[in-house]
Structures are given as C-alpha cells and as structure tokens.
C-alpha cells in the first residue's frame, strides 16, 4: 500500500469505525428506566431571588393592598411604641432631663482617688 492508497484507506477506515452504531433499544430502555422518578432536586439559578424581589406589581389587588395595610399598621405600632429607639440614647436623654450630674451616671469613679472624671 503506497501513501496515497494509505490516505484513502485511512479516511475510509475512520468513517467506518466512527460512524454511529445501530441503536441498542434495550440499553435505551435501561437508561430511560434509570432516570424515572424520584428525580433529584433541581438547582435553582442564583439570580432568581433578586428577580423576585425586584418584581414589583403596582396594580391594585386585595392581597397586595392587605400586605400594604399590614406593613403600615406594623410601622405605626413600632413608631408609637418606640421600639426602634436605642436604650442608651433614651437613658442619656432621660438623664439630661432629670439630673445635672451626667458624669455620675456615665463614668465610673477613679479607682485610686475616688474622684469622678
């Protein structure tokens, strides 16, 4: 076999050896059976959550109006009760209103002399 013949032989042999084989129906059935339920949990895309958060709907609907009313009510209650105020800030304001000696509350006496800063 010379080189030209060899090239032709090689091309033909590659086509013969790499061509798709007839479908093995039994193997296909086995694979399809193995991918039946129960299937594993699907992985959700990471960008789905921001999309949900950004998907604002302004059309009136009873569920959205109810949600808005709830938010408003909760906000009103929090505002009235003052839950959002910091406790140390509240204490300081209370001290200023009731006593001139603010340092006595805020600072510890010096350990050696007992003097207050």
Partner 1 sequence: MDDSDEALMARVARGDERAFRTLGSRHVPAMLGVARRILGNAADAEDVAQEAMLRVWTFAPRWQPLAQFRTWLTRVVVNLCIDRKRRAPWVALEAAGEIVDPALGPGDKAESDERERLVQTAIGELPARQRVAILLTYGDGMSNAQVAEILDTSVSAVETLLVRGKQNLRRALDSVIDKDG
Site residues, partner 1 (CB under 8 A): 1-3, 5-6, 9-11, 13-21, 23-24, 27-28, 30-32, 34-37, 39-45, 48
DSSP states along 24-75: -HHHHHHHHHHT-SSPPPPPPPTTHHHHHHH----S--HHHHHHHHHHHHHH
Closer to partner 1 at the Cβ: 26 or 111? 26
Rounded to whole angstroms, the Cα distance separating 66 from 78 reads: 18
Q: Which is nearer to partner 1, 45 or 82 (CB)?
A: 45
Of 16 and 86, nearer to partner 1 (C-beta) is: 16
């Amino acid at each position: 076999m010379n080189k030209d013949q060899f090239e032709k032989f090689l091309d033909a042999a590659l086509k013969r050896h790499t061509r798709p084989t007839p479908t093995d129906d039994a193997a296909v059935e086995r694979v399809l059976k193995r991918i039946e339920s129960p299937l594993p949990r699907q992985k959700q895309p990471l960008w789905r959550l921001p999309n949900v958060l950004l998907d604002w709907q302004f059309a009136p609907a009873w569920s959205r109006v109810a949600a808005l009313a709830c938010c408003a009510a909760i906000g009103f209650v929090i505002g009235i009760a003052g839950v959002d105020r910091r406790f140390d800030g509240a204490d300081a304001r209370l001290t200023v209103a009731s006593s001139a000696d603010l340092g006595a509350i805020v600072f510890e006496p010096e350990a050696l002399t007992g003097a207050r800063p």
